[in-house]
Structure 1
Amino acid sequence: MERTFAMIKPDGVRRGLTGKIIQRLEDKGFKIVALKKMRISFDLAEEHYGEHKEKPFFKPLVEFITSGPVVAMVLEGPGVIAELRKMMGATNPADALPGTIRGDFATTIDENVIHGSANEADAEREIALFFRPEEFVS
């Protein structure tokens, strides 16, 4: 069974969208096997977004993701990585289709409500960054 990492970002938590987003994920048939609300430390944020370290948006990205609580989760299901990416919609909400999470809820490219792993390698790395094995519940 495939697993992926998903995170409702500070703007989504602040705007009270956590329940609506989780409902969509569960309605799709994804099983939530780990979940927690947390504040991301600066160090964890830098590690999580390390691939963007040399890009001009890295510092604002780290500042944003550490600006408030997030809801981190691990989802499980067949094809969950690709399916979650479809459900999220385009990174820029202006390009996200209605019916996608970003198309319906996100306001700007900088505050786009949700993060999901891009591929299997990223999913494994991100899950390990945010969750210990004993935090999983089947």
Structure 2
Amino acid sequence: MPDILAMQRSLVLLKPDCVQRGLMGKIISRFEEKGLAIIAMKMIQVTPELSKQHYAEHVEKPFYGSLESFITSAPVVAIAVEGLEVITVIREMLGATSGLKASPGTIRGDYSGSRQMNLVHASDSEESAKRELDLYFGKEEFCAFESVAKDFLRAADE
């Protein structure tokens, strides 16, 4: 019996280093080329308050100050992405958290040489995806649609 793949949504943030280095288009293209659907996108300036909500599990850790300084240093691009098993797919596309350890062919492996300046954040579970998407987007901002190319991206039973 075949596995049933789940349609999921995930948050992707193109971090300040990605925006400042002009890599937004290249990275968005990687998701589109994979056949993932971008259903919402906007550029925003992360505030210290939003940073504390987004990284709530890290606020009390010693490194949080530098994390907040970085994420609030320049605009980010928030993207809602939809697809089959999209959370795992995106995280595998990103590669290891540290660009120094990420494999060539992954986004971080190709464009990052740092642990913190690693270009992109992506949700790590369905629970965090829901929480993070709610932080960055209102329900009215999602533009879910069915691509006319879907028949060429996956089999009918997927």
Please classify the TM superposition score into its range, dividing by the shorter chain length. Answer: over 0.9
Which has the larger share of helix? 1
Give 1:6's aligned residue: 12
Q: Which residue of 1 aligns with 2:138?
A: 132
Find the counterpart in structure 2 of residue 71 from structure 1.
77
2:116 pairs, out of 107, 110, 117, with: 110
Deviation per residue, 1:63-97 (Å, 9 max, x gap)? 10000010001000000000000000000111100
Structure 2 Cα separation of the partners of residues 110 and 21 of structure 1: 17
| Counterpart amino acid of residue 64 in structure 1 | F
1:107, distance to aligned residue in structure 2 (A): 2.4
Structural mapping, 1:79-118, within 5 Å: 79-118=85-124
> Aligned equivalents of 2:23 and 2:111: distance in 1?
8
| Residue 20 of structure 1 pairs with residue 14 of structure 2 | no
The residue identity in structure 1 corresponding to 2:103 is: L
Which consecutive residues of structure 2, in runs of 5 or more, have no partner in the other structure? 1-6, 145-158
Q: How does 1:34-49 map to 2 (within 5 A)?
A: 34-49=40-55
Letter in structure 1 aligned against 2:73: S
SS in 2 for 1:93: coil
- Partner Cα separation in structure 2 for residue 93 and residue 70 of structure 1: 19
For structure 1, the 5+ residue unaligned runs are: none
Count the aligned residue pairs: 138
SS of residue in 2 equivalent to 1:81? helix
Q: Say which SS state the counterpart of residue 36 (structure 1) adopts.
A: strand
TM-score, length basis structure 1: 0.98
Question: How far, CA to CA, are the matches of 2:125 and 2:96 in structure 1?
Answer: 15
RMSD: 0.7
Q: Secondary structure at the match of 1:102?
A: helix
Corresponding residue of 1:59: 65
TM-score normalized by the length of structure 2: 0.86
